[in-house]
């Protein structure tokens, strides 16, 4: 019998008084990543390889001057027309902002207000009312850290790295890139048919999607209702000029 | 205006008709506020409603500190609206009222039974009681409503319904019925809404993330406080403290 | 009368044939105890020497009350526990068992259990075995050759016996059993021509056998067949005992008492409660003929808990003012916290009270909330200061601060002791490195050094010094320790202190008051749970806190604890408990309850909450009076 005190439990508007257990408040602030932006940006691009093209496109659009979010939204939606992604344009911008690649600004390039504005008081017939105040239109601008990170990134080098790592399959890559370079691009079934009997993909058994995934991550191909070669892909194809294509 | 009528007691007592006129007029406003609150709890805020809210003017001085705090918080939130606000509010609605845990203590569950039963269960005595009260006024839950009858949205809507009925009764001069409706409202407020909603709003402040729903918590709690004072004053059941607060 | 038999060479105790057996049966208040008293008086009146008469009761309080009612101090009246301890303290008993009747306290039992874990058996199974062994000890079935089922059980039992032998102690459950064995093996251990036993149903089987063995000419037993089966002083009451006694002695004279001897109003209330539970009613006298008059029953429902406690205190004050003496008032409280609230309220009105307690609660491992068992260390040090040869205390001393309580080392020592016979303290003093580690040797030396520093100290000085050494300088003496030492004198030696503490633990059921020197013992109201009324009666009984969640307890309303199929049985058990207590009222019974209590208090106390609501910003729980009020309602007299 430790204590015979009974605590009154006066409800004072605290959640614990209401019966809910006291829990730490849900985080309302972003998790502050203390690492330098360069590292965060590189990590973001590394982790979001399938979305590199969109991320890069946003940074390019917001590079020279503040770009209204609406424009960024339109551009991203256009690029995503054939991609079903869980990331919304706001989501992409939010990720880039957290990585330190984008900054929220006004149309004049001034820092965007961090807090919601207090409503203004208007008087009508002697009665005071609260009216929500409009925030300035949201703009984004690419940060210097992002510009630096982009300049040090060479899309072609990603393709080169891929060819180095996966050198055994260079003929297959050459065939796929060649087919993607055709007008109208190429569909996956056609790529599959093209490589299905090639000895290189028999053991271990590989399919076209494996190679296309790697090429897309390296930025060599892109999906636009069918698979198309990119500029980086063309340069990659040039690197493979002396390699016999699969099936030959 | 009601304040003037009461303060004016020393000079000239308002006539019964004047008082009832005032009651009728305030009944409409009260119905609107109950309706707004009910809607905000019933489902998430959609794009159209969000725009409506943005274009709404809220009283700067509602006569209750919590209400003022609530309106200000909501107004501030609406001022900071972006394209992602609707999604943010939908998420916060789930966070606040549905939660993510299974321990019965992970959200501000908007059911009277949860807050008034020992084990925080739904469908307890409170639900049976309010259902009986609804039915006594000729109401039943609509076929579109798939939740318990002691949901805060329904209880607030019930008060809205009674306000509309009160306004109508005053309009046609049925003051006996009007008084009976006031008594029903006061009873429902005291025995039900005020008995548990402050506990729910306290939880809302814990679980909601946006100032919108936190503001809604303050607004709701403050409004019910004010309602209790008003009805107490009208029915003559207010204590001295309550009267002073009203005046 | 007793037969000591051998089954396959193992001594066992057969149920003795009793020359003259009388069994008085009846519910509470039907006059069983009075019959016993009259029978004793009749014997005395016939010239029977008082020294040949023994009266046994279930608890020390019951024994005290019986003795007072009997009106003579010449007849030995004792609780079964007291008598068993007395028997085991005889030199021949000590020689037989190898040690005196030192009973393990709860925390010492926990250390013993730690030592049993050496067996490697999974904990839950081991705990189940331990419970089984203890129960079997109270039924003396551990003598039977087929008692143990498999090798594991035999191994654990062997380890248990070795460890108990090493400690020179018994488990509580062994006391009466060993007393009975002693009586069976020693022809001239104790002589009583006539043995009277009250509340046979509360005795363990071992105590029942002990009583039978003590009775040489006649055994007169009172049994309440409707009483709840719940532990009083002994942890395993043997409810079947009366039935077995009658079966073994078909010639027994049976007296069935079915007429309630108390006030009519109380009888009507009892019958109303019994009727609800489907139990047989008692016969009730008409008011004019009722031995104790009409009596009265009342139910008071107060608005909130504070009000109810205040009202209870007012009722007591009012009764005392009207001439009821405080010791004739019993407040049946649902739990300790409520009891202390009532005691506090009574104190505000200058009314002293005794609150029921169980001393063993102060010797549980859970009672010590410090991480390093400081309180239990001080307690152990006191025991050692009083007797440096207390092996149980040395075992505890060596367990503190040790990982796994040093059970491995103790197992080794126990084996050595079993072979060669040295006691634990002798082994520790020998400091042999092949038997004990340097760590244990160091712990022992620290203990010896502490004893040396406190040698010859009297109570206050001893407690202060031990607290300084083991808690820290200028730390207050632990309140629980002061409670354990209550009733001693400032200049008592360590030996006296030890004796007092062990006596309290052995008899367990105690009473505490704020009155430091106990000078006003007789003028105090008693506050305790219903079952503490065993053997007692009171002019006024106030059943305070009579709400759902207290009575019945919360588990009754929880379907996961009391499934629907068990409700009737559970209700019957509560009914028996209530009737047992209500039947002790010789004049008035009042039931007090409340309907509101702050939610946090309700949750803390375990009251059943019907509804929660806000009142003046406090979460208030609405509570209902006990379900038993429904049937009592019709019996109130205003």
| Mutation for B interface: C556, C599, C612, C622, most B CBs within 10 A | C612
For residue A17, what pLDDT is reported?
A: 46
Does B115 sit within 8 Å of C611, measured CB to CB? no
Tokens, residue B87 = 């999604």
The answer to which of A36-45, B57-66, C35-44 has the lowest mean pLDDT is A36-45
Residues B130/B149, Cβ–Cβ less than 8 Å: yes
- Report CB contact under 8 Å: A8, C337: no
- In order of A199, C40, C175, C606, the CA distances from C71 in angstroms are 113, 11, 30, 43
Residue C381: pLDDT band with limits 50, 70, 90 = very high
Domain that holds residue A134: 30-151
Residue C103 has pLDDT above 60, yes or no: yes
Residue-by-residue DSSP string for C445-469: HHHHHHHHHHTT-BHHHHHHHHHHH
**Mean of the per-residue pLDDT values of chain B:** 88
Which residues in C459-554 belong to E strands, given as ranges?
509-512, 525-528, 538-543
Rounded-to-integer distance, Cα A147 and Cα A56, Å: 10
**A159 and A144 both lie in a single domain:** no
Q: Which residues of B touch C608 (CB under 8 A)?
A: 118
Is the CB of B59 less than 8 angstroms away from the CB of A128? yes
Residue B32 domain-assigned?
yes
Check whether B225 has a pLDDT greater than 60: yes
Q: Say whether residue C153 is in contact with chain A using an 8 A CB cutoff.
A: no
Q: What is the ipTM of this complex?
A: 0.84
Which residues from chain A sit within 8 angstroms of residue C604, using beta carbons?
A: 6-7
Size of interface A-C (CB pairs under 8 A): 42
In the prediction, which pLDDT does C183 show? Answer: 92
Q: Cα distance from A28 to chain C (closest Cα, Å)?
A: 28
C-alpha pair distances (Å), B213 with each of A20, A98, C469: 18, 25, 58
Which positions in chain B touch A74 (Cβ < 8 Å)? none
pLDDT tens-place string over residues B78-114: 998 887 889 899 999 999 999 987 777 889 999 999 9
Indicate if A234 and A168 belong to the same structural domain: yes
Provide the β-strand partners of residue C622.
C596, C611
Residues 6+ apart with CB under 8 A from A94: none
Contacts of B217 (CB under 8 A, 6+ apart): B70, B108, B201, B202, B204, B205, B208
Residue C7 pLDDT level (bands cut at 50, 70, 90): very low
Tallying the residues shown for chain B, one arrives at 247
Q: Which of B117-121, C138-142, C518-522, C604-608 has the lowest mean pLDDT?
A: C518-522
pLDDT of the residue at A28:
38
Residue A93 is assigned to a structural domain of this protein: yes
User: pLDDT tens for residues C132-185?
Assistant: 999 999 988 876 767 777 888 888 998 899 899 999 999 999 999 999 999 988
- Minimal CA separation from B196 to chain C, in Å: 6
Give domain status of residue B15, yes or no.
Answer: no
Instruction: Determine contact: A129 vs chain C, CB below 8 A.
Output: no
Q: How far apart are CA C398 and CA C436, in angstroms?
A: 11
> What distance in Å separates residue C228's CA from the closest CA in chain B?
30
Angstrom CA distances, B91 to B70, B105, C99, C271, C461, stand at: 20, 18, 73, 62, 67
The verdict on a CB contact (< 8 Å) between B60 and A128 is yes
Whether the CB of B82 is below 8 Å from some CB of chain A: the reply is yes
Is residue C564 predicted with pLDDT exceeding 50? yes
Does residue A131 share a domain with residue A182?
no
User: Quick one: A199 and A139 in the same domain?
Assistant: no
Tell me whether residues B211 and A115 touch, CB distance under 8 A. no
In a domain, A55, yes or no: yes
Show which of A151, A178, A197 is a domain's final residue. A151
Sign of the CA dihedral with B171 first, then B173, B177, and B180 last: positive
C102 near C168, Cβ under 8 Å? yes
DSSP state letters, B132-185: HHHHHTT----TT--S-TTBHHHHHHHHHHHHHHHHHHHHTT-HHHHHHHHHHH
Strand A139-142, strand A67-68: pairing: antiparallel
Same domain, A40 and A124: yes
How far is residue C622's CA from residue C620's CA, in Å, rounded to a whole number?
7
Residue of B105, B113, B116 to mutate, interface with C, max C Cβ within 10 Å = B116
Q: Enumerate neighbours of C (3 or more CB pairs within 8 A).
A: A, B
| pLDDT at site B77 | 94
Q: Which residues of B touch C614 (CB under 8 A)?
A: 194-196, 198-199
Quick count: other Cβ atoms within 10 Å of Cβ A56?
Answer: 16
Hey, are the CB atoms on B194 and C611 less than 8 Å from each other? no
In-domain check, residue A56: yes
- CB of A46 less than 8 A from some CB of C: no
The mean pLDDT of chain A is 82
Split into its structural domains, chain A has a count of: 2
Cβ neighbours of residue C64 under 8 Å, at least 6 residues apart? Answer: C77
Flag whether residue A20 sits within 8 Å of chain C, measured between CB atoms.
no
User: Cβ of B111 under 8 Å from any chain C Cβ?
Assistant: no
- Chain C CA closest to residue B192: C613
**Is residue A13, in this structure, part of any structural domain at all?**
no
Of A14, A119, A127, the CB nearest to B79: A119
Instruction: Considering only the beta carbons, identify the residue of B118, B125, B199 that sits closest to C614.
Output: B199
Whether residue A7 and residue C599 make contact (CB cut-off 8 A), yes or no, is: no
On the question of pLDDT at C231 being above 80, the answer is: yes
CB within 8 Å: C336 and A1? yes
pLDDT tens digits for C585-630?
999 999 999 999 999 999 999 999 999 999 888 899 999 999 999 9
- The pLDDT confidence band at residue A30, using thresholds 50, 70 and 90, is very low
B197-222: pLDDT as tens digits: 999 999 999 999 999 999 999 999 99
In a domain? residue A6: no
Tally C-beta pairs within 8 A across B and C.
25
For residue A185, give the nearest of A235, A146, A224 by alpha carbon: A224
Local confidence band at A248 (pLDDT 50, 70, 90 cut-offs) = low
Considering only CB atoms, which chain A residues are within 8 Å of B205?
A: 15
Q: Residue A41's domain is classified under what CATH number?
A: 1.10.10
| A19 within domain boundaries | no
3-class secondary structure, C591: strand
Nearest to A130 among B57, B80, B108 (CB): B57
Mutation target among C353, C512, C529, C600 for the A interface, most CBs of A within 10 A: C600
The closest alpha carbon to C226, from C195, C180, C193, C260, belongs to C260
Q: Which pair of tokens denotes residue A43?
A: 């990590």
pLDDT at A29: 40
Do A176 and A112 share a structural domain? Answer: no
| CA-closest candidate to residue C109, choices C35, C174, C22, C177 | C174
Beta-sheet pairing, C525-528 with C10-13: unpaired
More confident residue, A19 or A145: A145
Q: Are strands C192-197 and C53-57 parallel, antiparallel or unpaired?
A: parallel
pLDDT per residue as tens digits for the range C423-470? 888 888 888 777 778 888 889 999 999 999 999 999 999 999 999 988
DSSP C611-630: EEEEETTEEEEE--B-TTHH
Q: Is C190 helix (H, G, I), strand (E, B) or coil?
A: coil
Out of B78, B83, B120, name the one closest to residue A19 (CB).
Answer: B120
pLDDT at B237: 64
Q: Which of C608, C609, C613 sits opposite B196 (nearest CB)?
A: C613
Which runs of consecutive H residues, i.e. helices, occur in chain B? 2-7, 16-42, 47-54, 65-79, 85-97, 112-116, 125-136, 152-171, 175-188, 194-207, 211-235, 240-246
More confident residue, C471 or A187: A187
Kindly state whether residues A113 and A175 are assigned to the same domain.
no
- Asked if residue B160 lies in contact with residue B38, where contact means CB atoms within 8 angstroms, the answer is yes
Both A55 and A144 in one domain: the answer is yes
**Residue C613 to residue B195, Cβ atoms within 8 A:** yes
Chain A residues closer than 8 Å to B209 by CB: 26, 28
Averaged pLDDT for residues C279-297 = 74
∠ CA B79-B82-B86, rounded to 5°: 100
CB C509 within 8 A of CB C518: no
Average of per-residue pLDDT across C519-526: 71
Instruction: Answer for the pair C33, C257: CB distance below 8 angstroms, yes or no.
Output: no
Kindly report the CATH number assigned to the domain that includes residue B172: 1.10.3480.10
Q: What six digits make up the tokens of B62?
A: 């509602």
Q: How many folded domains does chain B comprise?
A: 1
**Furthest CA-CA distance within chain B:** 60
Mutate to test the interface with C, among A9, A15, A16 (most CBs of C within 10 A): A9
Judge: B125–C608 Cβ closer than 8 Å, yes or no.
no
- pLDDT at residue A5 greater than cutoff 70: no
Neighbours of A134 (CB within 10 A): 12
Rg (CA), chain C: 26
With the C-alpha atoms ordered C279, C283, C286, C291, is the resulting torsion angle positive or negative? negative
Q: If contacts are CB pairs under 8 Å, which of residues 355-374 in chain C contact chain A? A: 357, 361, 369
Q: Which residues of B touch C617 (CB under 8 A)?
A: 198
- Taking the CA of residue B111 and the nearest CA in chain C, the distance in Å comes to 13
**Per-residue confidence at C419, pLDDT binned at 50, 70, 90?**
low
Rounded-to-integer distance, Cα C293 and Cα C637, Å: 13
Is residue A113 pLDDT above 60, yes or no?
A: yes
- A140 and A34 both lie in a single domain: yes
Q: Which of B50, B65, B73, B83 to mutate to test the interface with A (most CBs of A within 10 A)?
A: B83
Pairing label, strands C20-26, C253-257: parallel
Residue with tokens 């037989």: C96
State the residue range of the domain holding B117. Answer: 28-246
Q: Does the beta carbon of A1 lie under 8 angstroms from any beta carbon of chain C?
A: yes
A2, A10, A18 member nearest C369 (Cβ): A2
* Cross-strand partners of C596: C304, C622
Helix (H) or strand (E) holding C253: strand C253-257
Cβ atoms of C631 and C276 within 8 Å: the answer is yes
Half-sphere exposure of C174 (CA within 13 A, CB side): 22
* Torsion of the alpha carbons at C512, C514, C518 and C522, rounded to the nearest 10: -80
Question: In terms of domains, do A143 and A186 share one?
Answer: no
Residues A18-30 have a mean pLDDT of 43
Nearest Cα of chain A lies from the Cα of C66 at a distance, in angstroms, of 31
The yes-or-no verdict on residue C519 having pLDDT over 60 is no
> Could you tell me which chains touch chain B, where touching means 3 or more CB pairs under 8 A?
A, C
Please indicate, yes or no, whether residues A35 and A139 belong to a single structural domain of this protein. Answer: yes
Closest Cα in chain B to C554: B118
Residue whose structure tokens are 């303050």: B218
Q: Is A17 on the interface with C (CB under 8 A)?
A: yes
Are the beta carbons of C618 and A11 separated by less than 8 Å? yes
Q: Which region among A60-74, C1-15, C136-150, C267-281 has the lowest average model confidence (pLDDT)? A: C1-15
What is the distance between the terminal CA atoms of chain A, rounded to a whole angstrom? Answer: 89
Nearest CA in chain B to C608: B118
Of the residues A122, A151, A180, which one is the last residue of a structural domain? A151
pLDDT at B245: 31
Query: Are residue A204 and residue A147 in the same domain, yes or no?
Result: no
Residue B240 has pLDDT above 60, yes or no: no
Residues of B in contact with A135 (CB under 8 A): 79-82
Q: Look at B82 and A133 and tell me if their CB atoms are within 8 Å.
A: no
**Whole-angstrom distance, CA of residue C547 vs CA of residue C540:** 19
- Res B223: pLDDT: 97
Final residue belonging to a domain, choices A126, A151, A176: A151
Contact between residue C347 and residue C513 where contact means Cβ atoms under 8 Å apart: no
Q: At what angle do helices A155-165 and A231-239 cross, to 10 degrees?
A: 40
Q: Where residue C522 falls among pLDDT bands split at 50, 70, 90? A: low
């Amino acid at each position: 019998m430790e204590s015979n005190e009974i605590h009154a439990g006066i409800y004072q508007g605290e959640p614990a008084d209401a019966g809910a257990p006291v829990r730490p408040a849900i985080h309302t602030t972003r998790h502050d990543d203390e690492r330098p932006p360069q590292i965060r940006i590189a990590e973001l691009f590394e982790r979001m390889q399938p979305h590199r093209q969109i991320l890069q496109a946003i940074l390019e659009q917001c590079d020279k001057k503040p770009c209204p979010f609406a424009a960024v939204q339109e551009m991203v939606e256009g690029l995503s027309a054939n991609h079903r992604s869980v990331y919304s344009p706001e989501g992409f911008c939010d990720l880039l902002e957290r990585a330190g690649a984008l900054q929220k600004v006004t149309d004049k390039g001034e820092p965007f207000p961090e807090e919601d504005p207090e409503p203004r008081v208007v008087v009508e017939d002697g009665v005071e009312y609260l009216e929500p105040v409009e925030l300035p239109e949201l703009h984004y601008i690419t940060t210097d850290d992002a510009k630096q990170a982009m300049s040090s990134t060479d899309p072609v080098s990603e393709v080169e790295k891929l060819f180095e790592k996966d050198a055994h399959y260079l003929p297959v890559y050459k065939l796929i890139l060649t087919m993607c370079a055709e007008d109208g691009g190429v569909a996956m079934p056609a790529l599959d048919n093209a490589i299905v009997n090639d000895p290189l993909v028999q053991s271990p058994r590989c399919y076209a999607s494996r190679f296309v995934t790697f090429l897309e991550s390296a930025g060599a191909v892109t999906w636009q209702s069918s698979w198309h070669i990119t500029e980086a892909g063309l340069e990659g194809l040039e690197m493979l000029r002396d390699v016999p294509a699969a099936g030959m | 205006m009601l304040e003037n009528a009461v303060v004016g007691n020393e000079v000239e007592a308002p006539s019964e008709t004047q008082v009832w006129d005032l009651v009728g007029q305030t009944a409409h406003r009260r119905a609107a506020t109950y309706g707004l609150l009910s809607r905000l709890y019933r489902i998430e805020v959609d794009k159209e409603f969000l725009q409506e809210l943005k274009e709404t003017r809220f009283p700067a001085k509602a006569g209750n500190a919590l209400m003022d705090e609530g309106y200000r918080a909501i107004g501030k939130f609406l001022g900071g609206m972006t394209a992602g606000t609707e999604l943010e509010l939908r998420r916060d609605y789930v966070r606040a009222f549905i939660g993510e845990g299974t321990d019965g203590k992970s959200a501000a569950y908007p059911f009277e039974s949860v807050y008034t039963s020992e084990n925080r269960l739904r469908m307890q005595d409170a639900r049976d009681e309010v259902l009986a009260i609804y039915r006594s006024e000729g109401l039943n839950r609509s076929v579109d409503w798939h939740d318990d009858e002691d949901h805060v949205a329904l209880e607030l809507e019930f008060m809205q319904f009674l306000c509309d009925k009160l306004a109508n009764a005053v309009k046609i001069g049925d003051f006996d019925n009007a008084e009976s409706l006031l008594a029903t409202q006061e009873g429902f407020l005291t025995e039900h809404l005020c008995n548990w909603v402050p506990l729910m709003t306290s939880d809302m402040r814990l679980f909601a993330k946006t100032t919108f729903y936190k503001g809604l918590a303050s607004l709701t709690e403050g409004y019910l406080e004010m309602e209790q004072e008003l009805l107490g004053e009208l029915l003559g059941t207010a204590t001295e403290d309550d009267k002073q607060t009203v005046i | 009368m007793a037969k000591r038999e051998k089954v396959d060479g193992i001594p066992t105790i057969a149920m003795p044939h009793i020359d003259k057996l009388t069994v008085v049966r009846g519910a509470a208040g039907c006059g069983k105890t009075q019959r016993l008293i009259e029978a004793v008086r009749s014997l005395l009146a016939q010239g029977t020497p008082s020294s040949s008469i023994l009266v046994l009761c279930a608890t020390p309080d019951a024994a005290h009350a019986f003795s007072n009612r009997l009106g003579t101090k010449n007849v030995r009246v004792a609780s079964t526990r007291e008598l068993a301890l007395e028997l085991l303290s005889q030199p021949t008993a000590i020689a037989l068992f190898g040690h005196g009747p030192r009973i393990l306290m709860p925390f010492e039992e926990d250390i013993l259990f730690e030592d049993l874990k050496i067996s490697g058996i999974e904990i839950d199974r081991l705990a189940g075995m331990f419970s089984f062994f203890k129960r079997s000890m109270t039924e003396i079935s551990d003598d039977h050759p087929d008692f143990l089922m498999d090798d594991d059980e035999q191994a654990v039992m062997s380890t248990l016996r070795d460890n108990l032998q090493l400690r020179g102690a018994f488990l509580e459950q062994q006391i009466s059993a060993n007393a009975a064995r002693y009586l069976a093996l020693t022809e001239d251990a104790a002589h009583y021509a006539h043995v009277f036993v009250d509340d046979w149903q509360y005795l363990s089987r071992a105590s029942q056998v002990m009583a039978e063995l003590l009775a040489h000419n006649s055994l007169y037993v009172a049994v309440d067949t409707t009483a709840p089966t719940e532990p009083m002083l002994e942890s395993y009451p043997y409810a079947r005992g009366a039935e077995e006694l009658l079966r073994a002695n078909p010639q027994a004279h049976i007296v069935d008492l079915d007429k309630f001897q108390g006030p009519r109003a109380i009888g009507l209330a009892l019958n109303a409660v019994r009727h609800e539970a489907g139990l047989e009613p008692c016969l009730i006298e008409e008011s004019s003929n009722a031995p104790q008059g009409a009596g009265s029953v009342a139910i008071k429902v107060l608005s909130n808990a504070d009000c109810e406690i205040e009202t209870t205190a007012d009722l007591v004050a009012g009764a005392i003012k009207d001439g009821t003496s405080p010791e004739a008032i019993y407040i049946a409280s649902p739990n300790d916290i409520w009891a202390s609230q009532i005691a506090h309220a009574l104190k505000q009105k200058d009314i002293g009270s005794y609150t029921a307690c169980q001393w063993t609660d102060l010797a549980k491992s859970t009672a010590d909330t410090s991480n390093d068992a400081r309180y239990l260390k001080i307690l152990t040090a006191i025991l050692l200061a009083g007797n440096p040869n207390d092996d149980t205390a040395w075992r505890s001393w060596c367990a503190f601060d040790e990982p796994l309580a040093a059970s491995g080392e103790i197992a080794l020592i126990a084996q050595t002791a079993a072979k060669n016979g040295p006691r634990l303290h002798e082994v520790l003093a020998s400091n042999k490195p092949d038997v004990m580690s340097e760590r244990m040797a160091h712990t022992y030396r620290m203990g010896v050094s502490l004893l040396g520093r406190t040698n010859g100290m009297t109570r206050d000085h001893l407690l202060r010094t031990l607290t300084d050494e083991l808690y820290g300088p200028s730390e207050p003496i632990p309140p629980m320790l002061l409670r354990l030492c209550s009733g001693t004198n400032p200049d008592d030696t360590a030996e006296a202190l030890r004796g007092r503490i062990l006596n309290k633990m052995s008899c367990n059921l105690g009473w505490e008051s704020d009155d430091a020197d106990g000078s006003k013992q007789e003028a105090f109201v008693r506050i305790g749970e219903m079952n503490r009324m065993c053997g007692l009666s009171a002019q006024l009984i106030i059943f305070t806190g009579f709400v759902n969640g207290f009575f019945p307890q919360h588990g009754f309303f929880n379907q996961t604890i009391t499934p629907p199929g068990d409700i009737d049985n559970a209700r019957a058990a509560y009914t028996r408990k209530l009737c047992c207590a209500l039947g002790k009222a010789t004049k008035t019974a009042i039931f007090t309850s409340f309907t509101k209590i702050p939610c946090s208090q309700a949750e803390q106390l375990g009251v059943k909450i019907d509804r929660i609501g806000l009142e003046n910003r406090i979460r208030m729980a609405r509570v209902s009076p006990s379900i038993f009020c429904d049937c009592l309602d019709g019996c109130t007299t205003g």
